[in-house]
Amino acid sequence: MNKPVEDAVVTDANKRYSAGVLRYKQMGYWQPDYAPKDTDVIALFRITPQEGVDAEECAAAVAGESSTATWTVVWTDRLTACELYRAKAYRVDPVPNTGAGTRTEAQFFAWIAYDLDLFEPGSIANLTASIIGNVFGFKAVKALRLEDMRIPVAYLKTFQGPATGIVVERERLDKFGRPLLGATTKPKLGLSSRNYGRVVYEGLKGGLDFMKDDENINSQPFMHWRDRFLYCMEAVNRATAATGEIKGHYLNVTAATMEDMYERAEFAKSLGSCIVMIDLVIGYTAIQSMAKWARRNDMILHLHRAGNSTYSRQKNHGMNFRVICKWMRMAGVDHIHAGTVVGKLEGDPLMIKGFYDTLREPHTPQSLEHGLFFDQDWASLLKVMPVASGGIHAGQMHQLIHYLGEDVVLQFGGGTIGHPQGIQAGATANRVALEAMILARNEGKDIWNEGPQILQDAARWCTPLKQALDTWGEVSFNYESTDTADFVATATATA
Partner 1 sequence: MMTNTGQRLTQGQFSFLPDLDNAQISAQVDYALGRGWAIGIEYTDDPHPRNTYWEMFGNPMFDLKDAAGIVASIDECRSTFPNHYVRVTAFDATRGWETPRMSYIVNRPKREPGFGLARTEGEGRSVRYRISSYATDKPEGERY
User: Is position 153 an interface residue for partner 1 (rule: CB under 8 A)?
Assistant: no
CB-based burial, 233-272: b 16+ in 10 Å, e otherwise:
bbbbebbbeeeeeebbbbbbbbbeeeeebeebbebbbebe
Decide whether 165 or 339 has the Cβ nearer to partner 1: 165
CA distance 57 to 93: 13
Residue type, 274: C
What minimum distance in Å lies between the beta carbon of 435 and partner 1? 5
User: Is position 176 an interface residue for partner 1 (rule: CB under 8 A)?
Assistant: yes
Residue type, 182: G
CA distance 398 to 396: 6
- Give the sign of the dihedral formed by CA 469, CA 474, CA 475, CA 481: positive
Decide whether 273 or 340 has the Cβ nearer to partner 1: 273
Strand ranges of the sheet holding 108-114, from the earlier edge strand across to the other edge: 88-94, 108-114, 41-49, 141-150, 318-319
Q: Which stretch binds partner 1 (CB under 8 A): 135-143, 147-155, 227-235, 393-401?
A: 227-235
Tell me the DSSP string of 78-95: GGTTHHHHS-EEEEEEEP
The H helix count followed by the E strand count for the chain is 19, 15
Query: Residues 220, 380, 453, 482: which binds partner 1 (CB under 8 A)?
Result: 380
Decide whether 18 or 442 has the Cβ nearer to partner 1: 442
Query: Residues 54, 105, 245, 486: which binds partner 1 (CB under 8 A)?
Result: 245
Decide whether 245 or 369 has the Cβ nearer to partner 1: 245
CA distance 485 to 349: 10
Q: Which stretch binds partner 1 (CB under 8 A): 7-15, 130-138, 321-329, 430-438?
A: 430-438
What minimum distance in Å lies between the beta carbon of 240 and partner 1? 6
Query: Residues 270, 310, 453, 482: which binds partner 1 (CB under 8 A)?
Result: 270
Q: Give the x/- contact pattern for partner 1 in 111-140, rule: CB under 8 A.
A: ------------------------------
Query: Residues 358, 376, 396, 428: which binds partner 1 (CB under 8 A)?
Result: 428
Active site (catalytic) residues? 186, 304
Report which of 348, 345, 327, 344 is spatially closest to residue 336, judged by C-alpha positions. Answer: 327
CA distances from 351 to 45, 356, 371, 382 (A): 17, 9, 6, 22
Report which of 342, 347, 382 is spatially closest to residue 362, judged by C-alpha positions. Answer: 382
Decide whether 126 or 421 has the Cβ nearer to partner 1: 421
Decide whether 174 or 480 has the Cβ nearer to partner 1: 174
Q: Which of residues 397-426 bind partner 1 (CB under 8 A)?
A: 421-422, 424-425
What is the binding site for partner 1 (CB under 8 A)? 167, 170-171, 174, 176-178, 205-207, 230, 233-234, 237-238, 240-246, 270-272, 362, 380, 383, 421-422, 424-425, 428, 431-432, 435-436, 438-439, 442-444, 458, 461, 464
